[in-house]
Structure 1
Amino acid sequence: MSRPALEVADIFRDRGPAWRKAHAGHVSLEQLKVMSAIERCRTAELGGHVARCEDCAYTTIAYNSCRNRHCPKCQGAAAKQWLADREAELLPVPYYHVVFTLPAAIADIAYQNKAVLYDLLFKVSAETMLTIAADPKHLGARIGITSVLHTWGSALTHHPHVHMIVPGGGISPDGQRWVSCRPGFFLPVRVLSRLFRRLFLRLFLEKLVAAHQANRLSFFGDHIHLADAQSFAAYLAPLRKAQWVVYAKRPFGGPEAVLAYLSRYTHRVAIANGRLITSDQRGVTFKWKDYRIEGRNRYKQMTLATFEFIRRFLIHVLPKGLHRIRHYGLFAKGSRADNIARTRELLAIAKQEGQPTA
């Protein structure tokens, strides 16, 4: 694969030193490490190896990758291995795609408290899906979930949301049969939205307040006043009426479509090198997608001052140790293999008996 004409690494190497100097004391250690890794990726600084053809003696040097999960060049190999593992786990049923998005007011403080609030988004959204699926009025089964955290919008803005990939059915509570959802319809979105909001009121705010009382939250800039307990309570009060966004997309075309989607989403970073157009005195110009517009007109170009581009890229650096791909329910790590094996058995039985599995 040929190297893109412009890479994030080029921008960091060119303007990174000046940006770091201008923002000294206001950049986290993790962000500095990401910048350094991307700048050094596939250069002589990381070493490399020499490959030589035995027949024609052609020799080439391949430099080592940084393997940082935020590097636009280093996700291919990791994604390939991850996908190979998931391919072996795919079930012969339809798969559905659900997206949970944080409202802006929570997203604002999430940026300042990534580890706490991203974790809450994962847990509350997963509990929503598991709870409503277990309800006999809707599905009455234990389901499996693969969740992927994205923190960006197409213009590199802070937009935390979780993408969920869910099989169209689950195992009955007694473990004796596979329960299929209705064709083309997984769970009612209106019910999801109401339940997500109710869990948010009971769970999310509860845990958020507990984190505040335990001094696990940090605030700065325009939100520094939220360090005060009364100010924080007043800030949260209007959120009890906030509209949580739950978006259910059409079901995937089949297992191959699930893999194709996952290959694009699981190891994606804030911006791919292929979206960069130019970097000059005006700033960095890149392609972005305006989701408010339908059709071809949604594809546009944006130019940001170089320092602003760097800032936007770095706000999506995740805290050390925070996993951005998680599995719940039937796919939870400890019991995933056994649950998948049992699911295949139940699907085979349903097929033999002529029962629908989709």
Structure 2
Amino acid sequence: MKFIDILRDHLDVFNQAYDGQITTSMRQAINAMLSCRTHTQRASLWTCQGCTHTADFPLSCGHRSCPQCQYNTTADWLAKQQTKLLPVDYFMVTFTLPYELHVAAKYQPESLYPAMFSVAASVLKDFALNSPKLSGDIGFTGVLHTHSRRRDLHPHIHFIIPAGSFNKTQQHWKKNKGKYLFNAFNLAKVWRARLLEQLVKLNLKLPTSLPKKWVVDCQHVGKGLPALQYLSRYLYRGVLPDKNIKRLVDDNVSFEYEDSQTKSTKVRTLPTIEFLWLILQHVLPKGLRRVRDYGLLRGNAKKLRLQIQLMLAVAGAVFPIIPEIKRRLATRRCPCCQQPMRFMGIVKRPTNLIP
């Protein structure tokens, strides 16, 4: 069962039901997904190595919300992040937007989500500088997730943080000892105050009542690789893999998800049109980056990271064994002789072959 097939079969009814709520970014995502590997002006050209047969195939759309694209993009990101791993413990800090601000996330994501990133990053940097255990510069990677496991709107940012800091003056790496990094309740207080102040500056309309207590979670997660793998799941391939969609019966779609409390697999069933909206509401505005690196993990800090890695190696730290990430290589079999076909390049498809 494929999301794109459900979308194609129910698009007209969906457009009628949610007319006025579908954003330009959603429209662009819908058009891209419906043309994925079908209605493209360019195609990949293949020739058989055993006979003279040639064929061209429409290209993938490449849209980050498409569930059948972007596998290699995710693999490339994970491989790049693995080169930054340090032989230290890691923490995951999660900043969650309260339910009362979900309306702002729905209608003004292009303003709200960057504000969430900038405010949360400033909170982490200041806590690190003021912490007696760190008192220096830290590095962290943030990934925006807009959904819960049930795929409801639930914006939050996960940050993975190596447990240590670098003192530029002393040229020294300071290790954070133990399984405690920051007080989550104090993080939440500052997160609430700073984000509300920033939203007022952006002229975002705020609800009349907001909870006094917000939620920030700070957990020790051991080594960094499992955390990176977790964050990579929903980066570039939509929010619901096709394998999780189990059935479409009587105009109702059922999909599986893992319950966050019991860790058991559960099934959620929705009318088809509601299901489509549930998924498409997570399409991000064009140009908004879902993942960002800060401090010691930013792109232009490579030289400093190598210096820190050398310091840790000299101190006897054991670096993690990084598993090889396999890229998916496109393969084709000749329909005539079943021999492997060779990729020859990208060509423009004849106009009469484009629907």
Q: Which category of TM-score, normalised to the shorter sequence, fits these structures?
A: 0.7 to 0.9
Q: What's the CA shift for 1:320?
A: 1.4
Q: Distance in 2 between matches of 1:267 and 1:193?
A: 32
Determine if contact 1:100/1:163 at 8 Å carries over to the other structure: yes
1:174 maps onto 2:166 in alignment: no
**Structure 2 unmatched ranges of 5 or more:** 319-355
Q: What is the aligned partner in structure 1 of residue 6 from structure 2?
A: 11
Q: What is the aligned partner in structure 1 of residue 61 from structure 2?
A: 66
Q: Distance in 2 between matches of 1:79 and 1:133?
A: 30
1:79 maps onto 2:71 in alignment: no
1:319 maps onto 2:288 in alignment: no
Q: What's the CA shift for 1:29?
A: 1.4
Q: What is the aligned partner in structure 2 of residue 330 from structure 1?
A: 296
Which structure's residues are more often strand, by fraction? 2
- Alignment partner for residue 24 of structure 2, among 23, 29, 33? 29
- Alignment partner for residue 304 of structure 1, among 257, 270, 278? 270
Q: What is the aligned partner in structure 2 of residue 104 from structure 1?
A: 99
Q: What's the CA shift for 1:138?
A: 3.6
Q: What's the CA shift for 1:282?
A: 3.0
Q: Distance in 2 between matches of 1:129 and 1:271?
A: 30
1:128-160 Cα shifts (integer Å, max 9, x gaps): 221111224242221101000000112221000
The letter for the 2-side match of 1:154 is R
Q: Distance in 2 between matches of 1:100 and 1:268?
A: 23
Determine if contact 1:66/1:74 at 8 Å carries over to the other structure: yes
Q: Distance in 1 between matches of 2:187 and 2:44?
A: 55
Q: CA 1:209/1:136 → structure 2, altered by over 3 Å: closer, same or farther?
A: closer
Q: What is the aligned partner in structure 1 of residue 90 from structure 2?
A: 95
Determine if contact 1:142/1:330 at 8 Å carries over to the other structure: yes
Q: Distance in 1 between matches of 2:202 and 2:25?
A: 22
Q: TM-score, normalised by structure 1?
A: 0.81
Q: CA 1:279/1:250 → structure 2, altered by over 3 Å: closer, same or farther?
A: same
1:222-246 Cα shifts (integer Å, max 9, x gaps): xxxx5xxxxx5xx35x43x522212
Q: What's the CA shift for 1:87?
A: 2.2
Q: Distance in 2 between matches of 1:276 and 1:112?
A: 27
Q: What is the aligned partner in structure 1 of residue 244 from structure 2?
A: 275
Determine if contact 1:178/1:350 at 8 Å carries over to the other structure: no
Count of equivalent residues = 318
Q: CA 1:339/1:265 → structure 2, altered by over 3 Å: closer, same or farther?
A: farther
Determine if contact 1:168/1:186 at 8 Å carries over to the other structure: no
Q: CA 1:295/1:86 → structure 2, altered by over 3 Å: closer, same or farther?
A: closer
Spell out the pairing of 1:111-126 with structure 2 (5 A cutoff).
Answer: 111-126=106-121
Q: What's the CA shift for 1:251?
A: 1.9
Q: Distance in 2 between matches of 1:199 and 1:301?
A: 34
Task: Please identify, of 159-168 and 127-136, the stretch whose mean Cα deviation from structure 2 is larger.
Answer: 127-136
Q: CA 1:106/1:196 → structure 2, altered by over 3 Å: closer, same or farther?
A: same
Q: Distance in 2 between matches of 1:51 and 1:316?
A: 36
Q: What is the aligned partner in structure 2 of residue 221 from structure 1?
A: none
Task: Please identify, of 152-161 and 47-56, the stretch whose mean Cα deviation from structure 2 is larger.
Answer: 47-56
Task: Please identify, of 53-62 and 143-152, the stretch whose mean Cα deviation from structure 2 is larger.
Answer: 53-62
Q: What's the CA shift for 1:127?
A: 1.6
Q: What's the CA shift for 1:47?
A: 4.2
Q: Distance in 2 between matches of 1:262 and 1:110?
A: 21
The letter for the 2-side match of 1:249 is Q
- Alignment partner for residue 242 of structure 1, among 212, 234, 250? 212
Q: Distance in 2 between matches of 1:93 and 1:290?
A: 30
Determine if contact 2:44/2:58 at 8 Å carries over to the other structure: yes
Q: Distance in 2 between matches of 1:273 and 1:348?
A: 43
Residue 351 of structure 1 aligns to a residue whose secondary structure is: coil
The letter for the 1-side match of 2:252 is G
Q: Distance in 1 between matches of 2:290 and 2:124?
A: 18
| Higher relative contact order (CA closer than 8 Å, sequence separation 6+) | 2
Which structure's residues are more often helix, by fraction? 1
Identical aligned pairs, as a percentage? 31
Residue 100 of structure 1 aligns to a residue whose secondary structure is: strand
